[in-house]
Amino acid sequence: MKGLIFTYLLTYGGSAASLFKPFYGLLIYICFSIIRPESLWFWAVPPGNYSRIIAISLLIGWAVNGFGNWRLGRARAVIGFLIAFWVWVIISSLHAEQTDASLNWVESFTKIVLPCLVGVSLIDSVAKLKQLAWVIALSHAYVAYDLNQSYYSGFNRVWEDGFGGMDNNCVGITMVAATGLTFFLGFNAPRWWQKGIAFAGVFLMVNCVFFSFSRGGMLGLIITGGISFLLIPKKPRHYLIFALAVVLAFRLAGTEVVKRFGSTFADEKQRDASAQSRLDLWKTCVEIMGKEPILGIGPRHFSLTAHLYGYKRGKEAHTLWLTVGAETGVVGLFFLVSFYGLVMLRLWPFTREAYPVADPWFHENARMVIASITGFAVSAQFVSIVHLEAPYYIALLGAGALKLTSVPIAAYIPSASNPISAARVAGLPVRPATGFHC
């Protein structure tokens, strides 16, 4: 019953609010894309167009309020690659053998791209960046809590049924993507209870990856941990927190988890059928890229044509990156990799404490985005999962930071000509020019 009330309240109350404050609609849309109310509370929430209702209100509110601010600065090229990939998959779809199937794929992808475009135009303060980060983290944490509760009640829902249309591998990967973000949120949280919530969320997500038995998820989790260690501030207390997190992770990993993960690196004679099948599929994707390097065979077409390559009809390639290359060509793969790669590359300088920024939170933002996307990128090599929303929204978090940091630091210092606009960008309270301090 609580789930039904929550869903209806956010759907209809949030729709009304987003007409005036479209950023609220964006946060609710992203929350719903992660928690998937019909799946999370399947016994109470009937099937419905909850996300669509929010999306329509969001777009109306966005238009009424002037379409946001498109002075993207350093984020311009990042968003440009996302748009380029979107346009390219449309072109590839129009040249595909089964155009209707490809266009259905494009429609689903558009439901991710549009919120990202709206979101980057609406982000105009550090406060909004923090709200977006916490919504992504808490939404994943609650899903992980529910799945942990099911697991310890005797039913491994992730392994048996998946969640929200995702199989165990997809669930594992979305948890990996959120783990780095949530870890750094807790690392930088100013209050003890916020740290407690964030680190509890990390605990639940890590355990969820383990009992998903996703080898790609486990590898991504290790990579996320390694990157996080490199990025944390080099102080004794920070090392202590990280060490405790590592010890806890090892404690959570049971014998079955270790055994299954170890099979990932077994030699050809000891490798199980699942692992060997992935390598064969990857090889096929590379061969397709060689034959169709420009437009590929069309979005959604690997599974539709798998029988032509000696696999069962409907077989997935079990790799995001090579699937994109096979289906949209080397050009499409370049656009998608550049979208994720450029946002990390441009955020990298901000990971250093010595790098000058107007708000210290930009350091943590850069760390959480880089750690999360790196873990996702490694995990995604093992699953065909182009429409997983969380990584795009985490990249949006990075693009929003790049947009804000494009404002020169001097602009944050009030002047007689413009005393308060910089404060709004920084998410600070607006005060009269006299006595204002940033």
Element (H, E) at 151: helix 126-152
Beta strands in 54-175 (DSSP E): none
Residue 275 pLDDT greater than 70, yes or no: no
Determine the Cα–Cα distance for residues 267 and 63; give it in Å rounded to an integer: 57
Residue 31 lies in a domain: yes
Determine the Cα–Cα distance for residues 223 and 206; give it in Å rounded to an integer: 13
pLDDT band of residue 339 (cuts 50, 70, 90) is very high
Same domain, 54 and 179: no
Determine the Cα–Cα distance for residues 296 and 293; give it in Å rounded to an integer: 6
DSSP 429: P
Same domain, 54 and 121: no
Residue 72 lies in a domain: no
pLDDT, position 413: 45
Boundary-marking domain end, from 36, 67, 98: 67
Same domain, 273 and 395: yes
Closest CA to 362 of 348, 375, 372: 348
Same domain, 140 and 273: yes
Are 143 and 40 spatial neighbours (Cβ–Cβ below 8 Å)? yes
Residue 328 lies in a domain: yes
Residue at token pair 């969820």:
208
Residue 145 lies in a domain: yes
Residue 116 pLDDT greater than 70, yes or no: yes
Average pLDDT over the chain, rounded to whole? Answer: 85
The percentage of the chain sitting over the pLDDT mark of 90, rounded to a whole number, equals 60
Residue 404 tokens read as 């804000």
Torsion of the alpha carbons at 235, 236, 237 and 240, rounded to the nearest 10: 120
Same domain, 62 and 95: no
Same domain, 23 and 119: no
Same domain, 98 and 2: no
Closest CA to 184 of 346, 325, 370: 370
| Per-residue pLDDT reduced to its tens digit, 94-109 | 999 899 989 999 999 9
pLDDT band of residue 419 (cuts 50, 70, 90) is very low
Burial of residue 43 (number of CB atoms within 10 Å: 0-12, 13-18, 19+): exposed
Same domain, 6 and 132: no
For the chain, the domain total comes to 3
pLDDT band of residue 383 (cuts 50, 70, 90) is confident
The helix/strand/coil state of 295 is coil
Same domain, 366 and 413: no
Which string of DSSP letters, residue by residue, matches 323-345?
HHHHHHHHHHHHHHHHHHHHHHH
Structural domain boundaries, residue 174: 77-406
Q: Which is more confident, 431 or 60?
A: 60
| Per-residue pLDDT reduced to its tens digit, 280-312 | 899 999 999 999 999 999 999 998 898 888 888
Same domain, 150 and 209: yes
Same domain, 128 and 35: no
Stretch 65-79: mean pLDDT = 94
Residue 354 lies in a domain: yes
Same domain, 59 and 98: no
Cα torsion 195, 232, 215, 326: sign: positive
Looking at the DSSP bridge assignments, the partners of residue 166 are: 163
Alpha helices in 253-406 (DSSP H): 255-262, 273-291, 301-305, 320-347, 361-379, 389-405
